[in-house]
Amino acid sequence: MAINYYDDRVQVSHKLNKNESNEVNEFLHNNPDKALRLYWFEDTKELSFVSEIPNAKNISIDYSKLDNIDFLSALPNIEKLDISEMTGNLDVNAIKNFKNLKILNLSLNKATKQTDLSILNNGIALEEFYFSGKFKKNSLNLNTLKNIKVLAPQLSTINFKELSDLNQLKEIRLFNQKIGSLDGIEKFTSVENLMINGVKMENQDNLSPIFKLPKLTILNLSYVKFIKDFTFIKSSHNLKCLYLWTLNGLESYKGIEKLTSLQKLSHCGEHKNPNDINFDNIENLKNLMELEIKVGRVNEMNKRKIEKLIKNICC
């Protein structure tokens, strides 16, 4: 079937006729929270029917090989656009026409053309921006995104010192990149949620600037190999939730007691020798209300120690 309906979206993988387009448009009119997903298209000419679906405000395009997205220009009310898993020489210049665009995901790792992101300087008040791929040098000026609340760059590197203070920014997500320094991140005083996933760092002390974010409430450090302990926390902080996924290397929780307001600690990971980890400092987290530790197969002594820590928190 060319049309498939799901709880959160309607999927289209073939060119629609007039009646089918009207059917999808009516569905999106009655279900404005649902997305229109377009996939497996090889030619933009096959997508001319999209102009007959003006009720589409949330659009996802993936697993296609297209030259451009000009066919979307007839839909001025687009609020969310997700373009990913695309191949070929894709031109996304039409984005400059979407004045109501709030959420943009450009995952263009497989596209061959360098994307010119200066189009975002055209009066688009983005609130969430997720992006990866090849971008024209100096075409991306994040300082123009004054309304941005969620920023998720997947670049080869990022320098926070080059950014101005984005006053609305609430969440930063960093994925699979080499970070030499987080200096400058402290200027984003409104940030409440920070995710660092799969990044490479030469020294765990490079994480220290994180704890100069006064409103940081949730910290997620996932698939990290460089953390040995928590001595990179240089002073007390009111962080509430800490999610960890470590890959070997962790030796102890030394320093974690500086998180004096921590209420939830979840530590999972893959450790060849989890019994070498010293869990003692966890008991110094006096406000902890929820604890999860799954770091591999531990011996009976450490198993009892973890169970005792959890019991003391819960009871």
255-266: pLDDT as tens digits: 999 999 999 999
- Return the pLDDT at 127: 97
- Return the pLDDT at 169: 96
Q: Please tell me whether residues 6 and 42 are part of one structural domain.
A: yes
Q: What is the DSSP string of 59-128?
A: EEEES-B-SB-GGGGG-TT--EEEEES-BB--B-GGGGG-TT--EEEEEETTB-SPB-GGGGGTT---SE
The pLDDT of residue 182 is above 70:
yes
Q: Please tell me whether residues 142 and 258 are part of one structural domain.
A: no
Q: Please tell me whether residues 144 and 172 are part of one structural domain.
A: no
Q: Please tell me whether residues 199 and 279 are part of one structural domain.
A: yes
- Return the pLDDT at 161: 86
Measured distance CA(230)–CA(220) in Å, rounded: 14
Residue 276, domain member (yes or no): yes
Residue 107, domain member (yes or no): yes
The average confidence (pLDDT) of the chain is: 91
pLDDT confidence tier of residue 238, bands split at 50, 70 and 90: very high
Give CA torsion, residues 191, 192, 197, 199, to 10 deg.
40
Of 2-16, 21-35, 293-307, minimum mean pLDDT range: 293-307
Q: Please tell me whether residues 232 and 93 are part of one structural domain.
A: no
pLDDT more than 70, % of the chain: 98
Which of 92, 115, 148 is the endpoint of a domain? 148
Residue 158, domain member (yes or no): no
- Return the pLDDT at 186: 93
Q: Which residues, including other chains, have CB under 8 Å from residue 230's CB and lie 6 or more apart?
A: 253, 254, 255, 256, 258, 281
Q: Please tell me whether residues 133 and 184 are part of one structural domain.
A: no
The pLDDT of residue 102 is above 90:
yes
Residue 155, domain member (yes or no): no
- Return the pLDDT at 112: 66
Mean pLDDT of 226-250: 92
CATH number, residue 105: 3.80.10.10
Q: Please tell me whether residues 98 and 136 are part of one structural domain.
A: yes
pLDDT confidence tier of residue 1, bands split at 50, 70 and 90: low
pTM for this model (two decimals): 0.91
- Please give the residue range of the domain that contains residue 232: 165-314
Residue 251, domain member (yes or no): yes
Residue 156, domain member (yes or no): no
Number of structural domains in the chain: 2
Q: Please tell me whether residues 246 and 203 are part of one structural domain.
A: yes
Residue 56, domain member (yes or no): yes
pLDDT confidence tier of residue 314, bands split at 50, 70 and 90: low
Mean pLDDT of 164-188: 89
- Return the pLDDT at 315: 56
Q: Please tell me whether residues 209 and 140 are part of one structural domain.
A: no
User: Are residues 81 and 100 in contact, defined by beta-carbon separation less than 8 angstroms?
Assistant: no
pLDDT confidence tier of residue 142, bands split at 50, 70 and 90: confident
Q: How many CB atoms lie within 10 A of CB 287?
A: 12
